[in-house]
Amino acid sequence: MRILVTGGAGFVGSEYVRMLLSVPGSTHPDDPSVGPVAVTVLDKLTYSGNLQNLAAVRHDPRLRVVRGDICDTDLVNEVVARHDVIVHFAAETHVDRSVHDAQPFVTTNVVGSQTLLDAALRHGARRFVHVSTDEVYGSIDEGSWTEDTPLSPSSPYSASKAGSDLLALAYHRTHGLDVVVTRCSNNYGAYQFPEKIIPLFVTNLLDGGTVPLYGDGGNVRDWLHVHDHCVGIALVQEKGRAGEVYHLGGGTELTNWELTVRLLEACAVGPDRVVRVEDRKGHDRRYSLDTSKASSELGYAPRIDLERGLTQTVQWYRDNRSWWEPLKAGATP
């Protein structure tokens, strides 16, 4: 099985690559019978892409890394032609950046996804796994979204992801391309670029600084450990039905204030480190995914509870200053 992982030098994509290569000769950590695997990472290495994220597997002969843009049609065709399965993570991902400048989001997330889908179709890819987000649904005050809920994105980021989701599903309906879409909640774990709330807050606190909390801190997010997310994506890759969407959530909803308190405790500091800042424009109040479809059809079940996962994550940032300090200083990784 030859697997192309776009965005494989980013936070979630690199965890997926490390997971794929974690069992010798197997595609799945729990199922060595799946067969041999070769993995190619296609990554532009933007500010959030970092080859250090792949350091643990960089000498693995099954891994190849291609630096390139998913919008580059010639390159994408050349690379896609040599693969059976595409797992598509590459994206511009930070909502705040999309509020200031939406253009790279539309280019990479929409045009880049379409470029990959065209190439997958042209070269007869066996499966295209499109990794997306719960943010495409907008905000929900009560209850949870199912996979059939209409999309209602609020930010340029989520609108560009919604556009790419719909394109991916359209390639299935129009052309019969084997597409599966995953939508997950907020991920956390090691190697997350320190602009997202958990690594930003933890690294600020470890540096003796303050943390900027948006608005009243009442926005609710569901937290999913990045490894559980990747195990879920592997299940969808192997067993998901073509043309279907699957939700992958953590089952741990917290307000941003509740999350902040946990991070303060983990770093052994008090609430005086919190600075309230003006809310983000268009800030969704609550996200909540119904994950029963992935559970019942695929056996999906997140295993890392939030307390253990957060403790390990904070410890990882304590132990890996050499990874994040240059990123916070604005240095090229």
Rule CB under 6 A: is residue 225 a binding residue for ligand NAD? no
Instruction: Tell me the window of 2-10, 73-81, 166-174, 236-244 that interacts with ligand NAD (CB under 6 A).
Output: 2-10
Among 26, 40, 93, 219, the residue binding ligand NAD under the rule CB under 6 A is 93
3-class DSSP assignment, residue 64: strand
Which two structure tokens, joined as six digits, stand for 40?
A: 């190619």
Among 3, 4, 5, 11, the residue binding ligand NAD under the rule CB under 6 A is 11
Which two structure tokens, joined as six digits, stand for 71?
A: 């919008």
Among 4, 5, 10, 250, the residue binding ligand NAD under the rule CB under 6 A is 10
How far apart are the C-alpha atoms of 313 and 316, rounded to whole Å? 5
Rule CB under 6 A: is residue 4 a binding residue for ligand NAD? no
Place of tokens 């693995």: 60
Instruction: Determine which one of 134, 165, 222, 228 is catalytic.
Output: 134
Rule CB under 6 A: is residue 9 a binding residue for ligand NAD? yes
Rule CB under 6 A: is residue 69 a binding residue for ligand NAD? yes
Asked if 138 contacts 152 with a C-beta cutoff of 8 angstroms, the reply is yes
Which two structure tokens, joined as six digits, stand for 176?
A: 């019969």
142 is catalytic: no
How far apart are the C-alpha atoms of 137 and 202, rounded to whole Å? 28
Q: What are the beta bridge partners of residue 225?
A: 188
For the CB of residue 231, give the shortest distance to ligand NAD in the complex, in Å. 15
Q: Which is nearer to ligand NAD, 9 or 168 (CB)?
A: 9
Q: What is the CA radius of gyration of the chain?
A: 19
Rule CB under 6 A: is residue 131 a binding residue for ligand NAD? yes
For the CB of residue 46, give the shortest distance to ligand NAD in the complex, in Å. 4
Tell me 65's DSSP state.
Answer: E
Helix/strand/coil percent split, the chain, to 5: 45, 20, 40
For the CB of residue 271, give the shortest distance to ligand NAD in the complex, in Å. 25
Among 108, 113, 252, 260, the residue binding ligand NAD under the rule CB under 6 A is 108
287 is catalytic: no
What residues numbered 30-59 form the site for ligand NAD, per CB under 6 A? 43-46, 48-49
165 is catalytic: no
Q: Which is nearer to ligand NAD, 14 or 204 (CB)?
A: 14
Q: Which residues contact 9 (CB under 8 A, 6 or more apart)?
A: 41, 43, 45, 49, 50, 51, 53, 54, 65
What residues numbered 139-198 form the site for ligand NAD, per CB under 6 A? 161, 184, 186-187, 193
Tell me 39's DSSP state.
Answer: E
How far apart are the C-alpha atoms of 276 and 134, rounded to whole Å? 26
For the CB of residue 232, give the shortest distance to ligand NAD in the complex, in Å. 12
Rule CB under 6 A: is residue 232 a binding residue for ligand NAD? no
Residue nearest to ligand NAD (CB): 10
Tell me 242's DSSP state.
Answer: T
How far apart are the C-alpha atoms of 333 and 121, rounded to whole Å? 34
Asked if 313 contacts 189 with a C-beta cutoff of 8 angstroms, the reply is yes
Kindly list the catalytic residues: 134-135, 157
Site of interaction with ligand NAD (CB under 6 A): 6-7, 9-13, 43-46, 48-49, 69-71, 89-93, 108, 112, 131, 133, 161, 184, 186-187, 193
